[in-house]
């Protein structure tokens, strides 16, 4: 879990509510779409900023058994939470010298180069001969993974296969969020060649977007991340439940005369008297600074335009559209919720939902609820 601040002693922190019921409902929908492939959960980067510990416990109770993180440290922190039958994969592989820690914890490294494969094999030989691993093939993204030629050589190597029994053969799609992109089919065809080299090994291709390409992309195990957290990975995706609600407290309300400026640089100047509210969330909480003067907060379905620059700990909205007695200091306004989705915020900020989620700051007061489901 993000360290965060514990129970708020004042009501001035931004509030981040994470609906674990909606998370589990999204998991079940994705699993039903992917079936008969199994559905894993990608919980790297603290479960995309939402808190890996509560997210993993909730998903484990919803029968999720396979989890992916990026780093060994992340896997070690979660190991105790997923039960003996759970499997934890480390996408970025294992560093030299960390093999024993990884294997002793029963964590499966995703090996992505010949050098990593050889180092893991050598390690396995010091340990009674076997240490299971996953193997990643680069089918066109040029990020991590072996090329087909190296994979073919490894597939002929009985010593390697005995030392490192392969639990999973995987690849990653570069363009799964664009279903019509020709790279998808090209990567699938390249991966079919890799699968033929390791016919006994379960295969995994699809991230969230890949699940909504056709069934050929689902393989034996799908690896959604962002869709679990409620963001549609592509236009083809089914509707998902909202997992994240972000509210900001009103710190002050004031009326400013025509000509008054607001915030650093006085970028905004009122053309007429306005009522404005200062909110207790700023860019240090992950609200994009780029939304200064263009984003909005919402209250009861009314849009409250952002004015001026986003500060570190606060920002201002124009609340003139609200009846004067409907908003008071200490009240909350919506930043992500029923009126404004995560995708809306990302689009307006020139960002992606992943970036908004993973930047949500540690000092937001996180609460976990079981509402959807
Ligand atoms: C992050 C990641 C995923 C999950 O991607 P989403 O688009 O969030 O579903 C799956 N596989 C790999 C290799 C990843 O790095």
CB 171 less than 6 A from any atom of ligand 1: no
pLDDT over threshold 60, residue 5: no
Residue 298, helix vs strand vs coil: strand
pLDDT tens digits, one per residue of 86-103? 999 999 999 999 999 999
Residue 350 contacts residue 275 (beta carbons within 8 Å): no
44 is catalytic: yes
Kindly provide the residue ranges of all beta strands, DSSP E only, lying in 185-288, ordered along the sequence. 203-204, 221-222, 244-256, 261-262, 268-269, 274-279
pLDDT tens digits, one per residue of 325-358? 999 999 999 999 999 999 999 999 999 999 999 9
Note the Cα 295 to chain centre separation in Å: 22
Residues 194-215 have a mean pLDDT of 97
Q: What are residue 134's DSSP bridge partners?
A: 110, 168
pLDDT over threshold 60, residue 253: yes
Residue 213's pLDDT is what? 95
Residue 83's pLDDT is what? 86
CB 173 less than 6 A from any atom of ligand 1: no
- Catalytic pick among 2, 217, 264, 354: 264
Residue 284's pLDDT is what? 97
pLDDT over threshold 50, residue 239: yes
Residue 2's pLDDT is what? 41
Residue 65 contacts residue 85 (beta carbons within 8 Å): yes
Q: Which atom of ligand 1 approaches the CA of 208 most closely?
A: 9
Note the Cα 198 to chain centre separation in Å: 30
Q: Count CA within 13 A, CB hemisphere, residue 57.
A: 10
CB 172 less than 6 A from any atom of ligand 1: yes
Report the percentage of the chain scoring pLDDT > 90: 91
- How remote is the CA of residue 87 from the centroid of ligand 1, in Å? 16
Neighbours of 297 (CB within 10 A): 30
pLDDT tens digits, one per residue of 67-87? 999 999 999 999 999 988 999
pLDDT confidence band for 3 (50 / 70 / 90): very low
- How remote is the CA of residue 205 from the centroid of ligand 1, in Å? 10
Residue 308 contacts residue 289 (beta carbons within 8 Å): no
pLDDT confidence band for 9 (50 / 70 / 90): low
CB 225 less than 6 A from any atom of ligand 1: yes
Residue 87's pLDDT is what? 97
CATH architecture of 20-229: Alpha-Beta Barrel (3.20)
pLDDT confidence band for 175 (50 / 70 / 90): very high
- How remote is the CA of residue 11 from the centroid of ligand 1, in Å? 36
Give me the helix-helix angle, 20-34 and 52-61, nearest 10°: 50
CB 263 less than 6 A from any atom of ligand 1: no
Contacts of 245 (CB under 8 A, 6+ apart): 15, 16, 17, 19, 334, 336, 337
- How remote is the CA of residue 225 from the centroid of ligand 1, in Å? 6
Ligand 1 mutation target, pool 68, 143, 212, most atoms within 8 A of CB: 68
Ligand 1 mutation target, pool 70, 223, 232, most atoms within 8 A of CB: 223
Residues 265-294 have a mean pLDDT of 96
pLDDT tens digits, one per residue of 109-143? 999 999 999 999 999 999 888 999 999 999 999 99
Residue 84's pLDDT is what? 86
pTM of the model: 0.95
Q: Which of 130, 121, 94 lies closest to 110 in space, CA to CA?
A: 94
CB 233 less than 6 A from any atom of ligand 1: yes
Residues 202-216 have a mean pLDDT of 96
pLDDT over threshold 80, residue 242: yes
- Residue with the nearest Cα to atom 15 of ligand 1? 91
- Average pLDDT value for the chain: 95
Residue 7's pLDDT is what? 60
- Residue with the nearest Cα to atom 6 of ligand 1? 225
Joined tokens for residue 8? 């708020």
The answer, yes or no, to whether the previous bond of 36 is cis (omega within 30 of 0) is yes
CB 26 less than 6 A from any atom of ligand 1: no
Cα–Cα dist 325/46, whole Å? 40
**Angular region, 360: left φ>0, alpha ψ -120 to 50, beta rest:** beta
Ligand 1 mutation target, pool 108, 110, 207, most atoms within 8 A of CB: 207
Cα–Cα dist 291/346, whole Å? 10
Residue 6's pLDDT is what? 56
- Catalytic pick among 44, 229, 268, 283: 44
Residue 69's pLDDT is what? 98
**Which CATH superfamily, name and number, covers 244-340?**
Lyase, Ornithine Decarboxylase; Chain A, domain 1 (2.40.37.10)
Domain boundaries, the chain: 20-229, 244-340
């Amino acid at each position: 879990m993000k360290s965060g601040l514990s129970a708020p002693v004042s009501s001035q922190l931004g509030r981040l509510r994470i609906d674990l019921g909606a998370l589990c409902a999204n998991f079940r929908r994705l699993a039903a779409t992917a079936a008969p492939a199994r559905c894993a959960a990608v919980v790297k980067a603290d479960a995309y900023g939402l808190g890996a510990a509560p997210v993993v416990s909730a998903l484990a109770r919803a029968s999720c058994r396979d989890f992916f993180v990026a780093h060994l440290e992340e896997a070690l922190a979660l190991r105790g939470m997923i039960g003996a039958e759970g499997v934890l994969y480390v996408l970025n592989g294992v560093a030299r010298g960390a093999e024993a820690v990884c294997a002793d914890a029963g964590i499966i490294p995703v090996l992505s180069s010949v050098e990593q494969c050889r180092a893991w094999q050598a390690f396995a030989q010091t340990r009674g001969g076997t240490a299971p691993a996953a193997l990643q093939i680069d089918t066109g993204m040029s990020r991590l993974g072996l090329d087909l030629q190296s994979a073919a050589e490894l597939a002929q190597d009985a010593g390697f296969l005995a030392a490192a029994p392969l639990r999973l053969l995987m690849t990653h799609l570069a363009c799964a969020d664009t279903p019509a992109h020709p790279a998808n089919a090209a990567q699938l065809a390249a991966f079919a060649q890799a699968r033929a080299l390791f016919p006994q090994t379960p295969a995994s291709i699809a991230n969230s977007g890949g699940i909504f390409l056709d069934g050929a992309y689902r393989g034996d195990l799908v690896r959604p991340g962002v869709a679990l957290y409620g963001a549609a990975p592509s236009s083809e995706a089914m509707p998902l439940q909202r997992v994240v609600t972000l509210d900001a407290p009103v710190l002050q309300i004031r009326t400013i005369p025509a000509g008054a400026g607001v915030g650093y640089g006085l970028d905004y100047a009122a053309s007429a008297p306005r009522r404005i509210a200062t909110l207790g969330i700023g860019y240090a909480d992950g609200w994009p600074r780029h939304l200064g003067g263009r984003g909005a907060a919402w209250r009861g379905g009314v849009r409250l335009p952002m004015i001026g620059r986003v500060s570190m700990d606060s920002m201002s909205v124009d609340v003139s559209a609200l009846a004067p007695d409907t908003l008071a200091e200490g009240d909350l306004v919506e930043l992500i919720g029923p009126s404004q989705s995560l995708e809306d915020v990302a689009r307006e900020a020139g960002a992606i939902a992943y970036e908004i989620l993973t930047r949500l700051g540690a000092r937001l007061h996180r609460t976990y609820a079981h509402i959807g489901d």
